[in-house]
Amino acid sequence: MNRNQTKIAVIGCAIVSVLLIGGFMYVFTSLDNSFWITSRTIELKLHDSVKKAIVIIDKQAIHPNSMNLKMTGALNGDGVLQFGWSDSIFYRSDTLHGNFSINYKSLDWYNDTCFFKFEPLTATKGDLKIECEIFSSRK
Please give the helix or strand (H or E) that residue 18 lies within, else none: helix 3-32
The residue ranking higher by pLDDT, 96 or 22, is 96
pTM, whole model, 2 decimals? 0.69
| Cα 87 to Cα 89: distance, rounded to the nearest angstrom | 6
Phi-psi region of 13 (alpha: psi -120 to 50; beta: other; left: phi over 0): alpha
Average pLDDT along the chain: 83
pLDDT given at position 94: 92
C-alpha 61/C-alpha 136 separation (Å) is 6
Residue 110: name the closest of 64, 69, 68 by CA: 64
Q: Which of 33, 120, 40 is nearest to 78 (CA)?
A: 120
Q: Does residue 69 carry a pLDDT above 60? A: yes
User: Which pLDDT band, with edges at 50, 70 and 90, does 32 fall under?
Assistant: very low
